[in-house]
Structure 1
């Protein structure tokens, strides 16, 4: 059988990826597909499907099309994967090797247009060295860009893609650096906003309402209305007094994201401010719109508004931060008539402001809600029968998890084996004098750290299985003593103590005017001690 006949019988798929930030330099997915299709035609491959990740960074291995390709590879419905270049698979060499090893183990051939796929140990080493040098070169380019940006702002030049409201950014032209130019229409509105706060004493929300009444829209907004956070940033921006800044914040992964998504093109979507003394450039000269005296008065008025805000008056909400609406938003405490009536209201009205709220759920009485939830917690902690029922359910869940963990351990052990193989390839490359001992250490240290972390997972899994021991659970006698002492201690507690117990036992409450659904856990003592709300030894807990 000839090679041509073999190729004609081979069914392959195509994978393509383009990062939105680099599309102009690297070309679009259409450009990649054109080259890939031409290569497939010359080699008599039959393309049966195309997996495309358009706008996804190669620094992350979690991509929808790539995940689908990896799952389909296990079904063995095609024989090979064709890509333009290894960079399209992933930016990091370790990610490339991980996916390529996974495909090879499934019996899938990996083919590239620009380079030959490794076929033996020597090819793998050369492919690895090529990937490492490419990764190193990208790191050097990134560092050069970073240093270039720092040098530019240190020299007093503006570095941005979009100017603050009130300015127009004039891009670099004929060797002249980009700069801010005052936008007369927007600058007039900026002065109005500062005047409303400093001279009329308006709060941020009143400014939002006034802008809405005057049909003045912000630069960017899906809803077409100003937000309180946008105005707060505007009123604190020193660019308006002629002092623009750069490097005042850094990106971080959000701790409590508004949307939990399986696939995220950008992981670090939140920003955290640095102390002003750590800003890279804090006084970049730009045209002045607001005088310093007015700017200072606005800052003072914002502090006054915050101190006098009705929402800052402290009322006692037992479930604050724990209670949610069925729409998914949190419920916040509100005390109309100076706290005479307390309610938990859906915060959708705050997110929708100044537009009408999208959630139609009404507020629920906070005092009644707090009493109902607290009575349930106290009743559970005072009832040996209810606690015994929860312990039994906890045991059943732990046993089920222990059974499923054996499969997880097998996956972790397989990954450790792959990492050991990767470390061995680096050692062989070092033995062939392809790089220095310092570079070897730089390449292998992260691998060893990853292996140590995975081995730690296996150890923890074994320890978790060992902990499922009936002897470690409280006896019926201990449970009865615990509930009796808890019943005594839970009577006549002050608000702060009850609040502390709620924070430690309740995960969330989803409430409407008709019903409350409480999720949480009750700590159980390992060896019975006298129950005290301020100090106790707690055993592992289970959510219900």
Structure 2
């Protein structure tokens, strides 16, 4: 009997965190160890190979590679597994490993598959390997279709709630849903205030979050990074109350961020799906004033467009200055004591160039441009005219509010009448109890939507549509005071807020398109309606 004893090994694998938590590894090992004891073999501790949480699609796994290295050096005579699927979910990968073992005359014992001793059994074993791969594909497809069906029928699938929300499991009385996380929602509001009102950059926001000891969503790291902060600042769910399932899909990354040998999953990146494939579901609104979101997007786009990028020289008009052919005018570096804006078309090969615009001196054009801008926005008649135009354009907002409120109240009243009618029909035995419950549930669901819309509208303050000369004069005095001393960064802010485009014409003429963004909350006349936009002057000024 002693001569029959062999040195053997075990390989075990699970692919998900849930299997790890449910001790699936331990159950595999326990069953396989009992089989080894039953067969009378020896299992050294170093011959136990385990890959916890590793995808079966990948053949590159730490302990699988270590087991294959042990096999090459003859450190065991047989390998025990729970089933072939532990080696891999792909049939070709299974065959690669089993053939390596066979070449070294190492036995392969699977507790839940045929252990081949004859050519016929080898064919049957291979067929079982094919079925392991088919099983994986079938499980993935069944889960995908099941989740999509539930999501399309209003069931919240995603347990990974956005920052600011928490996932609430279903109970006997309520379905699964996202609820507001009070602590995280306050952090979201802080981020938007810091970014939009205080004009604090993303790096400064990260520092403030660290200084206040605010943890990340999963708490795995004490330090925030740019990615999560940027995604929060451009997420409209906090303002619209609509989140989406099926918004992205897993893909294999084109470029690995870390130069590592092993990765637990094959598809380690994500790609956004077309918007028509997104499945919406309702969540509570965290921030009521949508102007914060609009302004945040503007600032993010501005920061992306006008980032410093280690520029050697400052160019105030960069990003807004174009030649008459539509090419951006870019800084051409220092030539002697002067610097120039030149068309970006000039960097192309001669035969590909289409722009014949000459360059323009940086100091000349910026000086004339700034003087012209100061003259325009210091003109009290011009400021007064634009403020009045804006106020007049807002005159219909309150009427629209009142109409929306009346419509929702009428809908709620009609649905209440329907409830009474259904109750009367039940009392007259025209419908049974189950039919009554179904009809009442439909009515209540619709009433909930209209009631929520009504509460949103009632929370919005009416827009003041009158402004007097004294208020206009106050605004003008403040603007004139600020304009007296402006450094480079201040001029950049003016450019961002007031100028939409600057075009250089042949002969040196420069046209400037000016916006006058008048926001009611800056003038302290109440908040804007959520779907409002700043007015635009749309005039062309030449200097």
Q: Secondary structure at the match of 1:311?
A: coil
TM-score relative to the length of structure 2 = 0.53
* Contact kept? 1:18, 1:26, Cα under 8 Å: no
Where structure 2 has 5 or more consecutive residues not aligned to the other structure, the ranges are 315-336, 338-543
Match of 1:284 in 2: 281
TM-score relative to the length of structure 1 = 0.53
Query: Which deviations, in whole Å up to 9, do the C-alpha atoms of 1:343-389 show, x marking residues without a partner?
Result: xxxxxxxxxxxxxxxxxxxxxxxxxxxxxxxxxxxxxxxxxxxxxxx
Match of 2:413 in 1: none
Q: Rate the CA distance shift 1:27–1:218 in 2: closer, same or farther, 3 A.
A: closer
Match of 1:160 in 2: 158
Where structure 1 has 5 or more consecutive residues not aligned to the other structure, the ranges are 317-339, 341-544
Q: Rate the CA distance shift 1:56–1:299 in 2: closer, same or farther, 3 A.
A: same
Pick aligned residue for 1:47 from 36, 43, 47? 43
- Trace 1:39-438 onto structure 2 (pairs within 5 A): 39-48=35-44, 49-174=47-172, 176-220=174-218, 222-241=220-239, 242-275=241-274, 277-281=275-279, 283-291=280-288, 292-311=290-309, 313=311
Using the alignment, how far apart are the partners of 2:267 and 2:206 within structure 1?
A: 29
Q: Displacement of 1:244 after TM fit? A: 0.5
Q: Displacement of 1:234 after TM fit? A: 0.5
Q: Displacement of 1:110 after TM fit? A: 0.9
Query: Which deviations, in whole Å up to 9, do the C-alpha atoms of 1:166-195 show, x marking residues without a partner?
Result: 112102334843211112222222122212
Deviates more, 1:123-132 or 1:168-177: 168-177
Q: Rate the CA distance shift 1:214–1:101 in 2: closer, same or farther, 3 A.
A: closer
Using the alignment, how far apart are the partners of 1:133 and 1:25 within structure 2?
A: 27
Using the alignment, how far apart are the partners of 1:18 and 1:266 within structure 2?
A: 12
* Contact kept? 1:16, 1:29, Cα under 8 Å: yes
Q: Displacement of 1:56 after TM fit? A: 1.9
Using the alignment, how far apart are the partners of 2:188 and 2:253 within structure 1?
A: 31
Q: Rate the CA distance shift 1:7–1:114 in 2: closer, same or farther, 3 A.
A: farther
Using the alignment, how far apart are the partners of 1:26 and 1:137 within structure 2?
A: 21
Q: Secondary structure at the match of 1:47?
A: coil
Q: Secondary structure at the match of 2:178?
A: strand
Q: Displacement of 1:290 after TM fit? A: 1.6
* Contact kept? 1:73, 1:103, Cα under 8 Å: yes
Using the alignment, how far apart are the partners of 2:305 and 2:312 within structure 1?
A: 12
Q: Displacement of 1:221 after TM fit? A: 5.1
- Trace 1:31-42 onto structure 2 (pairs within 5 A): 31-42=27-38
Using the alignment, how far apart are the partners of 1:115 and 1:304 within structure 2?
A: 61
- Trace 1:393-542 onto structure 2 (pairs within 5 A): none
* Contact kept? 1:157, 1:177, Cα under 8 Å: yes
Q: Rate the CA distance shift 1:124–1:285 in 2: closer, same or farther, 3 A.
A: same
Using the alignment, how far apart are the partners of 2:304 and 2:132 within structure 1?
A: 53
* Contact kept? 1:12, 1:46, Cα under 8 Å: yes
Using the alignment, how far apart are the partners of 1:64 and 1:304 within structure 2?
A: 45
Using the alignment, how far apart are the partners of 1:16 and 1:93 within structure 2?
A: 17
Q: Rate the CA distance shift 1:256–1:57 in 2: closer, same or farther, 3 A.
A: closer
* Contact kept? 1:203, 1:302, Cα under 8 Å: no
Q: Rate the CA distance shift 1:78–1:200 in 2: closer, same or farther, 3 A.
A: closer
Query: Which deviations, in whole Å up to 9, do the C-alpha atoms of 1:193-223 show, x marking residues without a partner?
Result: 2122222333222322333343433324555
Q: Displacement of 1:63 after TM fit? A: 1.4
Q: Displacement of 1:22 after TM fit? A: 5.3
Q: Secondary structure at the match of 2:171?
A: coil
Q: Secondary structure at the match of 1:29?
A: helix
Q: Which has the larger radius of gyration?
A: 2
Q: Rate the CA distance shift 1:237–1:126 in 2: closer, same or farther, 3 A.
A: same
Query: Which deviations, in whole Å up to 9, do the C-alpha atoms of 1:25-50 show, x marking residues without a partner?
Result: 98522222211121111111122322
Deviates more, 1:302-311 or 1:141-150: 302-311
* Contact kept? 1:250, 1:274, Cα under 8 Å: yes
* Contact kept? 2:252, 2:267, Cα under 8 Å: yes
Match of 1:30 in 2: 26
Q: Rate the CA distance shift 1:69–1:217 in 2: closer, same or farther, 3 A.
A: closer
Q: Secondary structure at the match of 1:210?
A: helix
